[in-house]
Chains A and B, each alone.
Chain A
Amino acid sequence: MQAATASFLARFAGLKFRLPGDLAVREAACAQLIQDGLPTRALEAWKYTSLKPLAEITFAEALSDVSALDPAHLPGFFSLLPDLDLPRLVFLDGRYRADLSVLPEAGRVGQFALQPRFGARVGPLDLLNTMLAEDGVLIEIPADVDAGTVLLISLAQDTKGRPIAFHPRHRITLGDGARLELMEIAVGQGVYLHNPVYDINVGDGAQFTHLRLQDESRQAFHLASLHATLGARAIYDSFTLGLGGALARAEMQVVLGGEFGMAHLNAAQLLGGTQHGDFTTCVRHQAKHCGSRQTVKNVLAGSSRGVFQGRIEVARGADKTDGFQMNQALLLSPDAEMDSKPELQIFADDVKCSHGATVGALDEDQLFYLQSRGIDLATARSMLVRAFLAEALSQITLAPASESVIRAFLDARIETAFGGIAL
């Protein structure tokens, strides 16, 4: 995929002396990217997701110019956000907007940290991000502080029809015993590439609840890489709801590095048309008594395609590991496709790891039962699809103060997404 890389490399060449942070880190990423190129389907980790469509687009350069987002569109964008009086960090076209943001009282919020803490597992999209990242948040919650709920919002729009690309770099650190609930919302219009990287550290006994709503433009590319390292008794509770994007991938790499850590990597995708949604995880159990839970549900209409790749690695000595993975897909059309690939690599002896996958159509008996009560077929179908998703959404745990608003907001976004696809 040298062609796809070329435009990004050219952009780096033009921008590099104006980019913030350590240039040597960027140069190293650039050299690696030149060597590797962007991934192709020949790579096992990219077997089901092709970045070819990305190569066919020339993204406008010089993101450093003032955001081209038309201010007239802002009210429209903000109407897409939940009505919550909460701290919010707002990005427009990948650039942090202090004027639209409200900083949380607890913790420290700054901008941008490039040096990755995630070590050897650097993927090609991490390299692309490292090379071109211009902005991002740095959130640090001190030990034993509960920072409450914070919104992280990404609004994007192509520049008068010219596609743009942005590569935000977020670093989130919870000190020992700290707590944070982060709700992310990514929305936009037109063609763009949103390529965020998250560098997450959850200290001993800390709890990070991470809710991600990916509701990008249906023409956009959303390629997210998340890296989280957990301390002892730390909890990383994440839920990704994927509704948008022409091509979307969320790759989560989680290291359970201390005893009794717990990671939830739950997700739901609702796709139609020709959308492609890929949820890829790798959980590395490196300490004893850790747990990981993954429930991933996909509703696929039209000729959409869902991908789930779930890898669990249990290191030697990580005894009493308890890993669970379940992937379910509902295919609403004969042209929809689900690719599911669980991978378990276990080097410890005393381990409980299970995985399961189901792919199916709506149940005829259930449809008939609803119809026999007077409910028409279309409504019956939509009830059963919602029921299928409801089980996934019930995995989300939220602070009581904002829970009902956030759930209503998610339901509304799902309703809108339903409107765009044929059930």
Chain B
Amino acid sequence: MLEIKNLHAKIDEKVILNGLDLVVPTGEVHAIMGPNGAGKSTLSYVLSGRAGYQVTEGTATLDGQDLLAIAPNERAALGLFLAFQYPVELPGVGNANFLRTAMNAQRRARGETELDALQFLKLARVEMKKLSMDDAMLKRNVNVGFSGGEKKRNEVLQMALLKPSLAILDETDSGLDIDALRIVADGVNAQRGPNFSALVITHYQRLLDYIVPDRVHVLASGRIIRSGGPELALELERDGYAQVIAAAA
């Protein structure tokens, strides 16, 4: 379970998160929607531990463990996964080597045995098939020369292999056509179950047609100003953020 209490964060003296409260129980998928500049990406970076953000107040825990006190790789080993809005290209780093190094780093941190090259390949091929990814993607450098859709699929592949308990999907729908969106959404839905929760960050309702959330939250000016069921996303789509924010004020 992800529990965020009264979270305040700033970057370069600019306050972005301003008393954010949020609980995502294990097994549930929650969506966060909000206008540009509301703090959506900041929330994902603060939770995953990117440098440059300063938390001035509040707490964030995953299954009772303090996320904010530990390094990004330790958060990952606890089960946190961030699917990047803009996946980073790593020239010279082979995708297979990257994936196996990441899996084994987490397995080691959890006291599990490491995978050898063959065991890894077997697992990777199964998941790649589900995502309609060509095996050749393993040999290529991480995200280098990948199309927008391929990059997002590669993010979902990492999620499928790393099996996080909490996935944060940061505008995973941006830059995707309908077919790619469906494949990516299917990949996320395949992870759903009693031990998986997700925080789906998006501008648009469209993604939520495919990944149907248990709860929808509206983020504005660094706080959750309204929460509701999936129907809230439809209301936002119909009325726009301005009206919902004004009504909540």
B109 interface residue per 8 A CB criterion: yes
Which chain A residues in 87-120 approach chain B with CB under 8 Å?
none
Q: Which residue in B48, B88, B91, B109 is a CB contact (below 8 Å) of A365? A: B88
Of residues 180 through 224 on chain B, the ones whose CB sits less than 8 Å from some CB of chain A are none
State whether the Cβ of B76 lies closer than 8 Å to any Cβ in chain A.
yes
28 examples of A-B residue contacts, CB within 8 angstroms = A364-B51, A365-B88, A368-B72, A369-B84, A369-B87, A370-B102, A371-B76, A372-B49, A372-B72, A372-B82, A373-B76, A373-B98, A373-B106, A373-B162, A374-B73, A374-B77, A374-B106, A374-B109, A375-B73, A375-B102, A383-B93, A384-B93, A387-B90, A387-B92, A387-B93, A388-B92, A389-B92, A391-B91
Q: Which residue of the partner chain A has the closest CB to B108?
A: A374
Contacts of A371 in B (CB 8 A): 49, 71-73, 76
Contact of A373 among B49, B92, B158 (CB under 8 A): B158
Chain B 88-127 per-residue mask, 1 if CB under 8 angstroms from chain A, else 0: 1011110000100111011001000000000000000000
Q: How far is the CA of A376 from the CA of B104 in the complex (A)?
A: 11
Set of chain B residues within 8 Å of A389, measured between Cβ atoms:
92
Whether the pair B162, A386 counts as a contact (CB closer than 8 A) is: no
Q: Cβ of A369: which chain B residues have Cβ within 8 Å of it?
A: 84, 87-88, 90
Residues of B near A366 (CB, < 8 A) are 88, 90
User: Any chain A CB within 8 A of the CB of B130?
Assistant: no
Please count the residue pairs between chain A and chain B whose beta carbons lie under 8 angstroms apart in the complex: 76
Question: Given A364-B51, A368-B50, A368-B72, A374–B91 Cβ distance below 8 Å?
Answer: no
Known: A384-B90, A387-B90, A387-B92. A375 touches B105 (CB 8 A): yes
The docked-state distance in angstroms from the alpha carbon of A297 to that of B41 is: 35
Chain B residue numbers with a CB within 8 Å of A380 are: 73
Closest to B102 in A: A373
Return chain A residues, CB-CB under 8 Å to B105: 373-376, 379
Contact of A372 among B76, B90, B98 (CB under 8 A): B76
Residue A122, interface by CB 8 Å? no
* A31 lies within 8 A of chain B by Cβ: no
Q: What's the nearest-Cβ distance from chain B to residue A44, in Å?
A: 34
Q: Which 8 A-B pairs have the closest CB atoms?
A: A387-B92, A374-B76, A373-B102, A371-B72, A374-B106, A369-B88, A390-B92, A374-B105
Q: Digitize A192-210: 1 where CB-to-B-CB distance is under 8 Å, 0 elsewhere.
A: 0000000000000000000
Q: Which residues of A contact B72 (CB under 8 A)?
A: 368, 371-372
Q: Number of A residues contacting the other chain (C-beta, 8 Å)?
A: 23
Q: Which residues of B contact A (CB under 8 A)?
A: 48-51, 71-73, 75-77, 81-82, 84, 87-88, 90-93, 98, 101-103, 105-106, 109, 141, 158, 162
Most B CB atoms within 10 A — which of A365, A386, A389?
A365
Q: Which of A370, A386, A391 has the most CB of B within 10 A?
A: A370
Min CB distance, A328 to chain B, in Å? Answer: 11
New A-B pairs, 17, CB < 8 Å, besides A373-B158, A388-B92: A369-B90, A370-B98, A372-B48, A372-B75, A374-B102, A374-B103, A374-B106, A374-B109, A375-B101, A375-B102, A376-B71, A376-B73, A376-B105, A379-B101, A380-B73, A387-B90, A391-B92
In the complex, chain B residues whose CB is within 8 Å of the CB of A388: 92
Distance between Cα atoms of A198 and B72 in the complex (Å): 51
Which of chain A's residues have a CB closer than 8 A to the CB of B103?
374
Chain A residues near B162: list those with CB within 8 A.
373-374
B48 to chain A: which residues have CB within 8 Å? 372
When distances are taken between beta carbons in the complex, the residues of chain B under 8 Å from A379 are: 101, 105
**Complex CA distance for A82 and B75, rounded to whole angstroms:** 42
Q: How far is the CA of A154 from the CA of B53 in the complex (A)?
A: 53
Q: Name the distance in Å between B21's Cβ and chain A's nearest Cβ.
A: 24
Instruction: Give bound CA distance, A370 to B81, whole Å.
Output: 12
With a CB–CB cut-off of 8 A, which chain A residues contact B75? 372
